[in-house]
């Protein structure tokens, strides 16, 4: 056999092996991405503790310039100078970015600030915003495009800068016999790609907190279908499951086939989105009233959002369920999904409205800690041995799982009118009529 024929056959064998394994890697390139577009994206915050004056010779222009340092961006520490174009400027007008975190701003990329609001009163409130703007981040590991946006807030001597960083890596790799586009999006604003979502360590097998450590977002465009999932979670493409990962050096991406036991969940609503925090997996689930495939596991249902069917102008009402806060249950909704089984999940609509009546002490606006026998109240300071004469009324909305509704958005319809309320005594006589005002 000739040498060229042996080389050709060896190449065919390698190609077939890669295709059979489904893990043939493809190169990726760093690209800018809209800030906040990653699922559950975390922004960076820098306040007084991370604020300093510029170093001598830093490259700042204004003598009033200040530098914010962001610790979250571990892969490429970020220092941002609040500066102006002119030394005699009376207010900041630009931000200068140092993606090595050293506070050096010579030839640094700049982004203009836009004034949003300003008060000249005693509080001296200033609110400004910036971006989204694409700039090049010159980091210790290389230069790549980043989209930045955020806001600056000042009240008296307190200052805070909020920053969102949009960065991703994009390439193609094989999923079985097909090749699809893959994008890994930085979801925790640290400019490092490949951070998987996970339950916090040290919690054992407990799901009753529903807690999770956010990571990056994986987007797979398979023809007309786009899958957007938590990075590190299995992704279903074309009826098969894959583990899609970046290489250790971040230069390639591959999809490894998984022999994964799977079932499905069904939430009978027009459109919904939630995060399933399981014992083995963290799954972002998006669906309609049809079952969707998920790996077999036991999950806590968190971050649930629901939309109504569209109206004539294709607008939807959105309902968001609270996971934490007053009135919520201490444990999230749990659902077990077995192999080949469909789990029905009762969550979201229909909503239940309930009037909450809280006794108040002698007309005081302080809420009471409890209600004593016979209608007497205790306000924490004394026992008021008289029936309460003042009450606070509020409207509470809960979903099918008993969880409190955080907000309802009705696009194009504005804020609904405050609901009217009538209180009647045992004989049916109206003793109070009014409205539940907002706030």
User: pLDDT averaged over the chain?
Assistant: 83
HSE of 412 in the Cβ direction (CA atoms, 13 Å)?
8
Average pLDDT of span 311-326:
80
Average pLDDT of span 387-409:
80
- 372 compared with 111, residue with greater pLDDT: 111
Domain spans in the chain, listed from the N-terminal domain onward: 44-166, 171-193+212-254, 352-435
Which pLDDT value is given to residue 434?
A: 84
Which pLDDT value is given to residue 407?
A: 83
The answer, yes or no, to whether residue 365 has pLDDT greater than 80, is no
Q: In degrees to the nearest 10, what's the CA dihedral of 243, 262, 208, 307?
A: 90
- 99 compared with 375, residue with greater pLDDT: 99
Which pLDDT value is given to residue 262?
A: 96
Which pLDDT value is given to residue 433?
A: 87
Neighbours of 415 (CB within 10 A): 7
Average pLDDT of span 415-419:
75
The answer, yes or no, to whether residue 95 has pLDDT greater than 60, is yes
Which pLDDT value is given to residue 76?
A: 61
Least confident among 65-69, 109-113, 328-332, 395-399: 328-332
Confidence band for 202, pLDDT divided at 50, 70 and 90: low
Which residues, including other chains, have CB under 8 Å from residue 358's CB and lie 6 or more apart?
A: 367, 368, 391, 392, 393, 394
Which pLDDT value is given to residue 414?
A: 67
Confidence band for 370, pLDDT divided at 50, 70 and 90: very low
Least confident among 47-56, 69-78, 176-185: 69-78
Tell me what percent of the residues of the chain surpass a pLDDT of 70.
Answer: 82
Tell me what percent of the residues of the chain surpass a pLDDT of 90.
Answer: 53
CA–CA separation, 187 vs 231, rounded Å? 9
- 24 compared with 154, residue with greater pLDDT: 154
Residue 4 backbone phi and psi in degrees, to 5: -65, -35
218-274 pLDDT, tens per residue? 999 998 999 999 999 999 999 999 999 999 999 999 999 999 999 999 999 999 999
144-200 pLDDT, tens per residue? 999 999 999 999 889 999 998 999 999 999 999 999 999 999 988 888 899 999 887
Confidence band for 408, pLDDT divided at 50, 70 and 90: confident
Q: Are strands 94-98 and 78-83 parallel, antiparallel or unpaired?
A: antiparallel
The answer, yes or no, to whether residue 388 has pLDDT greater than 80, is no
Which pLDDT value is given to residue 205?
A: 53
Among candidates 262, 192, 269, which has minimal Cα distance to 233?
262
Confidence band for 423, pLDDT divided at 50, 70 and 90: confident
**Omega before residue 331 within 30° of 0, cis:** no
- 126 compared with 38, residue with greater pLDDT: 126
Average pLDDT of span 402-414:
81
Which pLDDT value is given to residue 323?
A: 73
Which pLDDT value is given to residue 41?
A: 78
Least confident among 25-34, 87-96, 290-299, 385-394: 385-394
Which pLDDT value is given to residue 299?
A: 93
Write a three-state SS string for the chain. Answer: CCHHHHHHHHHHHHHHHHHHHCCCCEEEEEEECCCCCCCCCCCEEECHHHEECCCCCCCCCCCCCEEEEECCCCCCCEEEEEECCCCCCCCCCEEEEECCCCCCCCCCCEEECEEEEECCCCCCEEEEEEEEEEEEEEECCEEEEEEEEEEEEEECCEEEEEEEEEEEEEEEEEECCEEEEEEEECCCCCCCCCCCCECCCCCCCCCCCCCCECCCEEEEEECCEEEEEECCCCEEECCEEEEEEECCCCCEEEEEEECCCEEEEECCCCEEEEEEEECCCEEEEEECCCCEEEECEEEEEEEEEEECCCCCCCCCCEEEECCCCCCCCCCCEEEEECCCCEEECCCCCCCEEEEEEEEECCCCCCECCEECHHHEEECCCCEEEEECCEEEEEEEEECCCCCEEEEEECCCCCCCCCCEEEEECCCCCEEEEEECCCC
Residue with tokens 């669906």: 287
Least confident among 239-253, 335-349, 358-372: 358-372
CA–CA separation, 42 vs 379, rounded Å? 40
Q: Model's pTM, two decimal places?
A: 0.79
């Amino acid at each position: 056999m000739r040498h060229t024929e042996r080389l050709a056959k060896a190449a065919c064998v390698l190609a077939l092996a890669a295709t059979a394994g489904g893990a043939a890697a493809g190169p990726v390139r760093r690209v800018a991405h809209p800030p906040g577009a990653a699922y559950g994206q975390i922004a960076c915050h820098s306040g007084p503790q991370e604020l300093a004056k510029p170093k001598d010779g830093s490259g700042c222009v204004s003598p009033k310039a200040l530098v914010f340092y962001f610790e979250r961006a571990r892969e490429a520490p970020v220092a941002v100078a609040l500066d102006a174009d002119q030394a005699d400027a009376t207010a900041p007008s630009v931000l200068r970015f140092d993606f090595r975190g050293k506070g050096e701003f010579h030839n640094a990329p700049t982004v203009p600030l836009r004034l949003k609001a300003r008060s000249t009163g005693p509080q001296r409130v200033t609110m400004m915003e910036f971006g989204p703007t694409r700039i090049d981040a010159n980091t210790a590991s290389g230069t790549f495009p980043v989209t930045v946006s955020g806001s600056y807030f000042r009240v008296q001597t307190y200052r805070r800068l909020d920053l969102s960083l949009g960065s991703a890596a994009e390439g193609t790799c094989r999923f079985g016999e097909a090749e699809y586009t893959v994008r890994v999006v930085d979801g925790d604003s640290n400019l490092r790609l490949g951070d998987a979502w996970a339950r916090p360590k040290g919690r054992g097998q407990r799901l009753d907190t529903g807690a999770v450590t956010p990571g990056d977002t994986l987007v797979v465009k398979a023809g007309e279908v786009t899958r957007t999932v938590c990075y590190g979670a299995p992704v279903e493409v074309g009826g098969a499951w894959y583990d899609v990962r970046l290489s250790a050096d971040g230069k390639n991406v591959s999809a490894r086939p998984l022999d994964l036991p799977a079932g499905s969940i069904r939430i009978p609503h027009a459109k919904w989105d939630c995060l399933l925090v399981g014992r083995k997996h963290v799954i972002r689930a998006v669906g309609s009233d049809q079952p969707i495939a998920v790996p077999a596991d036991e999950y806590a249902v968190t971050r649930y959002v629901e939309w109504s069917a569209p109206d004539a102008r294709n607008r939807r009402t959105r309902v968001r369920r609270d996971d934490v806060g007053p009135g919520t249950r201490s444990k999230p909704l749990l659902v077990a999904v077995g192999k080949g089984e469909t789990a029905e999940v009762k969550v979201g609509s229909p909503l239940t409205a309930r009037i909450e009546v809280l006794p108040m002490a002698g007309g005081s606006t302080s809420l009471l800690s409890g209600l004593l026998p016979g209608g007497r109240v205790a306000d924490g300071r004394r026992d008021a041995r008289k029936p309460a004469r003042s009450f606070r009324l509020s409207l509470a909305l809960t979903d099918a799982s008993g969880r409190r509704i955080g907000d309802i958005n009705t696009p194009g319809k504005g804020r609904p009118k405050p609901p009217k309320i009538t209180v009647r005594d045992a004989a049916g006589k109206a003793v109070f009529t009014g409205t539940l005002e907002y706030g």
